[in-house]
Structure 1
Amino acid sequence: MLDAATAERFATLTFGHLTREWPYKLDQVLNGPADLALPATLHPIFHGSFDWHSCVHGWWQVMRLARLFPTMDQAAAIEALADRMLVPNRVAGEVAYLDRPMTGGFERPYGWGWLLALHDELALRPDRPWAAALEPLARAFAARFAAYLPKLLYPVRSGKHDSTAFALIHALRWARTHDAALVGVIEERSRLWFGADRAAHPWEPSGEDFLSATLCEAVLMQDVLGADFLAWLGAFLPHPYGAPTACLRTPAVVTDRSDGRLAHLDGLNLARAWCWQRLADDLPEPTSARLIAHAHLQAALPHLADDYMGEHWLATFALLALTD
């Protein structure tokens, strides 16, 4: 469980790099020399934490921690930074980036989903102006989802940033509060893509995964199907503790945490912990599922700050596993 000491540890890890500008990895198509600019110019809010999407979900992390533990030492500093950064003129700069040519694939769909998750988290603090300020950017990404999903004939069954299922878990949660039409699109497409999936026999992990394609699909369908989910899950994972799914129950091993892509596997362990816990009550032997989640957490939690290649994002997935 998440306690105050763990919350403060996570906040300490993440707060310092939300505005750390270097190193930074841009996701950008250059249309000409005028497009060359510093990250802080291109992205007035999300120019820290090594890349745009990590900065977005770093903000989600610290804002959730400040809400859940308002008396922790870092809460006042987090809110002060939010007052300075999550403001209309900076949001307008982020929206303006989306208006550049050839930005249709910018952060699709991982960053889109996390931006909606951040807005959803901010909306839980109606006493503060942050959600209202960020709403134009959230609406812009919701519009991108609404335009893109009907054109996506086949879901991206990936363990990395292009995963369709993972992004839609966040997008659907946001849409149920903020955009009823998008709910319909996500539910219809998810049923079309995944509704007939049966007897999963996953080959995971791939060498640089940080998500479980199999388990993220199940979590999405848990949210989409409601009362019909148990029947779907029984067909999709008929033997959740059997040989075909053994690879989902064994924590991944990381050989080099200074290699950003190999360090993804720490994130995979955290993401699997989140998924197993989300699914536990709908699986036979829920305690077994929670023990699998615990083993994955234990494999990753000691390594959140081993190297900046993991430090700039892993605590977010730890928080997801411990609070969702």
Structure 2
Amino acid sequence: MTTRLTPQLASRLAAIALGHVTREYPNHILHGLEGPDDARTPSELHPVFYGSYDWHSCVHGYWMLARLLRLYPDMPEAQAIRYLFGAMLVPDRVAGEGAYFDRPMARGYERPYGWGWLLKLAAELQGHEDPAWGAALSPLTERIVQRFRDFLPLATYPVRVGTHYNTAFALRLAADFAETVGDDTFFELLRATAQRWYGSDTACPAWGEPSGDDFLSPALIEAECMRRLLPAADFARWFDAFLPEIAASQPRTLFAPASVSDRSDGKIAHLDGLNISRAWCWSSLANTLTDTDPRRPVMRDAVHRHLTAGIAHVAGDYMGEHWLASFAVLDLTETK
């Protein structure tokens, strides 16, 4: 598979997502029951985001479709995407999603990964070809923004794992929303939180990477979060201290693509996502450096090797297929 986004690849990835965002089963539900009446099917619980194996994967499947439709409005799958959005991103269905988040047991539902992706989707729908889609989503968007506002001041410590609970990734996605809609107060909350959590980090050893089910690099996504939220000069100083030996390809573990032994195992298949998300981070970070910086070629080589290792496996087994294409589009459309 090519390592750049072409119309042909966009069409293939869109077809993958269209095949699963309304596929209800198999489904993994993380759902708290307050009583017997709460035992319901995925589509009863979530009128919009019930497909793609789990809620957050469905959300970023919609984000990917919105991004590809924006870039390729005449692609063969464009009409199917428009029909899907017109049928699903409507007030009544979104109200059902909002009602789920209003449940007392849903206070921490999808925190923080799903929250970040929902805001990423909302940002993508801003200024899209049909403003009704973003407008319909807005009540849920507002709930998620408020979730962040309520939670971040209470979160004394960050979560540094390479899975859904990673806090840096959520801040990174939320920052795109805050900037897109011009919410300076929200952006400043995200920035201040990142500074509080990560601002004093130096000489990152990355000794625990990769873990057996990582799809994010705790070290690299932290750096990408800080790149997105800090002023450029402040970030440059922080990055120099955080990963001071990049020119020597250290820490070595961050430069070696992960090996995936069984793509039918959902947790092990996460490692394909790790390779793709590392490529995204390395590329974003390399773009902050001058052409003569000795770190830049080392980082660009890491981009190539990780993306090559991961992008060939975005399709094939549903345990990876229901989410990996979104990460590929994130990499291929947000970095050079």
TM-score (norm 1): 0.97
CA distance in 1 between partners of 2:157 and 2:186 (Å): 18
In the other structure, the counterpart of 2:304 is: 294
Match of 1:306 among 293, 301, 316: 316
**Which deviations, in whole Å up to 9, do the C-alpha atoms of 1:21-57 show, x marking residues without a partner?**
0001112111100111111011000000000000000
Return the match for 1:38 from 41, 46, 62: 41
8 Å Cα contact 1:257-1:263 kept in structure 2: yes
Deviations 1:246-299 (A, max 9, x none): 111110000000000000000000000100110012343423312211111111
Q: 1:16 aligns with which of 15, 19, 26?
A: 19
Are positions 1:198 and 2:181 aligned together?
Answer: no
Q: Helix, strand or coil: the match of 1:156? A: coil
The 10-residue stretch of structure 1 (121-130 or 12-21) with the greater mean CA deviation from structure 2? 121-130
Q: How far apart are the structure 2 equivalents of 1:180 and 1:143?
A: 14
Deviation at 1:126, TM superposition (A): 5.5
Aligned to 1:85: 88
- Is 1:323 aligned to residue 304 of structure 2? no
Confirm or deny: 8 A CA contact 1:202 1:244 kept in the other structure: no
Deviation at 1:147, TM superposition (A): 0.4
Deviation at 1:176, TM superposition (A): 2.0
Does 2:230 correspond to 1:220? no
Q: Is the 8 A contact 1:202 1:245 kept in 2?
A: yes
Aligned length: 324
Q: Alpha-carbon deviations, 1:73-99, whole Å to 9, x = none? A: 001110111000000110000000011
State the alpha-carbon separation in 2 of the partners of residues 34 and 313 from structure 1: 30
Q: Which amino acid in structure 2 is aligned with residue 288 of structure 1?
A: V
CA distance in 2 between counterparts of 1:207 and 1:25 reads 20
Is 2:30 aligned against 1:27?
yes
Separation (CA, whole Å) in 1 of partners of 2:308 and 2:251 = 20
What is residue 260 of structure 1 aligned with on the other side? 266
**Alpha-carbon distance in structure 1 between the residues aligned to 2:250 and 2:159:** 22
Take 1:222 and 1:264, find their aligned partners in 2: how far apart are those partners? 24
Match of 1:189 among 184, 188, 193: 193
Letter aligned with residue 201 of structure 1: P
> How far apart are the structure 1 equivalents of 2:163 and 2:130?
36
Amino acid of the structure 2 residue aligned with 1:209 = D
Q: CA deviation at 1:241?
A: 3.7
2:168 alignment partner, one of 154, 160, 165: 165
Q: Which residue of 1 aligns with 2:215?
A: 210
Could you say what secondary structure the match of 1:129 adopts?
helix
**Do the aligned partners of residues 272 and 237 (structure 1) sit closer, same or farther apart at CA in structure 2, a change above 3 Å counting?**
same
Q: Say yes or no: does 1:129 pair with 2:135.
A: no
What amino acid maps onto 2:333 in structure 1? T
- CA shift for structure 1 position 245: 1.4
2:50 alignment partner in structure 1: 47
Q: CA deviation at 1:120?
A: 0.4
Q: Which residue does the alignment assign to 1:109? A: 112
Most deviating of 287-296 and 202-211: 287-296
8 Å CA contact retained: 2:249, 2:298? no
Q: Distance in 2 between matches of 1:124 and 1:23?
A: 34
State the partner residue of 1:237: 243
Distance of 2:117 and 2:100 partners within structure 1: 17
Query: Could you say what secondary structure the match of 2:238 adopts?
Result: helix
CA drift at 1:105: 1.3
Distance in 1 (CA, whole Å) between partners of 2:186 and 2:150 is: 10
Q: What residue identity is the alignment partner of 1:107?
A: E
The whole-number CA distance in structure 1 between the counterparts of 2:127 and 2:318 is 30
Which amino acid is the alignment partner of residue 200 of structure 1?
C
Deviations 1:148-191 (A, max 9, x none): 00111010011000000001101111112333222121111111
Report the AA paired with residue 227 of structure 2: Q
Match of 1:4 in 2: 7
C-alpha distance in 1 between matches for 2:30 and 2:145: 19
Asked if residue 59 in structure 1 is aligned to residue 62 in structure 2, the reply is yes
**CA, structure 1 residues 63+243, in 2 after alignment: closer, same or farther (shift >3 Å)?**
closer
Structure 2 length-normalised TM = 0.94
2:287 is paired with a residue whose SS is helix
AA of the residue aligned to 2:52: S
SS of the residue 1:20 aligns to: coil
Instruction: Please tell me whether the aligned partners of residues 246 and 298 of structure 2 are also in contact (alpha carbons under 8 angstroms).
Output: no
In 1, Cα distance between equivalents of 2:179 and 2:255: 31
Identity %: 51
Consecutive unaligned residues in structure 1, runs of 5 or more: none
Question: Does residue 145 in structure 1 map to residue 155 in structure 2?
Answer: no
Question: Which consecutive unaligned segments of at least 5 residues does structure 2 have?
Answer: none
Deviation at 1:15, TM superposition (A): 1.0
The alpha-carbon deviation at position 306 of structure 1 amounts to 2.2
